[in-house]
Amino acid sequence: MIILKVIYIVRERESNSEEKRLFAFSTLFCRRFHSETDQNGMWWPCGRNGGSSFSSSSTAEQVTEGIDGTGLTAIVTGASSGIGAETTRVLAMRGVHVIMGVRNVVAAKVVMEAILKEIPNAKVDAMELDLSSMISVRKFALEFISSGLPLNILINNAGIFGTPFKLSEDNIELQFATNHMGHFLLINLLLDTIKRTTHESKKEGRIVNISSSGHQWLNYRGGILFDKINDESSYQKFCAYGQSKLANILHANELARRLKEEGVNITANSLHPGAIATNIHRYNRILTGIPGVVKRLLNLVIKNVQQGAATTCYVALHPEVRGISGEYFADNKIAKANSLGRDIDLAKKLWDFSMNLIKVEYLVPIVDADGILRE
């Protein structure tokens, strides 16, 4: 592939071994989607979903066309940029009341203003949420529950990628803390609200975890280093990212199993949005330091933001997904996670491990048995 060869020439001499591993993953990813054609001979740089309603080139607007989300309320984390912002825009376009869970409220307000300028009757609000901080997650959940709003859809989109080693304020490796633990706690705190909304509205609740195909290639041996989550000497930034994305899948799978056992009308799924150029890559010079001409060539083999948000909006809103739970999606269809992502015992182990990482006081129900809010 010419594009990848150009990048290789540019980066080979200055990339360390871990960056070369990321490059190898990118090569495999692009080869998979490079030259697929449909029955009319049309080239689809990102591949095509043969025989189904949508393809990997479909946009979020296209996969939700004709769907009326009026009366639904959704939370989208990491909604101030990238696919989170586009997901918010398109859900709002379909009538959904969207709550943006964001670290940067100022940036979120800019997104909100743009949405309202395009869609004057859109219902969009922003609330501060730092998923690396359990205090922040609980504060967000308390404020949301205090608002009295229903909750039909929870989209766990926020994430960081390939950061240097750092512990969160809760002393958990930062990527694992942000990408997995923050969302794990958030779901635990808001699940009763989703259940109540589902019961009162008679509408299916949906929980969506944004994962990545990186869980297949960028991971540690065994998938998750339970005994070395916070071990700096074992830390590899891209493997740590893959570990957290595998956790997103396992979390959704185990949650789906528990919800099915409980008999509630709530689904939980995970998905890969596609290879997208967003600011999640800001920590990695192999992805941010590529010359402009190469970036333009890369645009032929990666999705734009509108396409990148499509699978999220599809899983969150489309009637075709009704009743489907515990699945992994890519390109607007059910896909297949790797063997670790389908490991039932590993999912259960991760659930217990995650519960043990959360301080007891953060798990105290926000609403008591009498319906009284707790601080």
Residue type (1 letter), 179: N
Distance from C-alpha of 122 to C-alpha of 96, rounded to nearest angstrom: 8
Q: Which of the residues 220, 235, 283, 362 is marked catalytic?
A: 235
Q: 149: buried, middle or exposed (CB in 10 Å: 19+, 13-18, 0-12)?
A: middle
Residue type (1 letter), 336: K
111-134 burial, b at 16+ Cβ within 10 Å, e below that, comes to bbeebeeebeebbbebbebbbbbb
- Annotation marks residue 235 as catalytic: yes
Distance from C-alpha of 2 to C-alpha of 201, rounded to nearest angstrom: 53
Place of tokens 């692009």: 30
Find the angle CA(283)-CA(288)-CA(289) to the nearest 5 degrees.
120
266-280 burial, b at 16+ Cβ within 10 Å, e below that, comes to bbbbbbbbbbbbbeb
Place of tokens 């609330």: 127
**What angle, rounded to 10 degrees, do the helices at 134-147 and 182-201 form?**
20
Distance from C-alpha of 259 to C-alpha of 195, rounded to nearest angstrom: 10
Closest CA to 221 of 347, 338, 357, 348: 338
Catalytic residues: 235
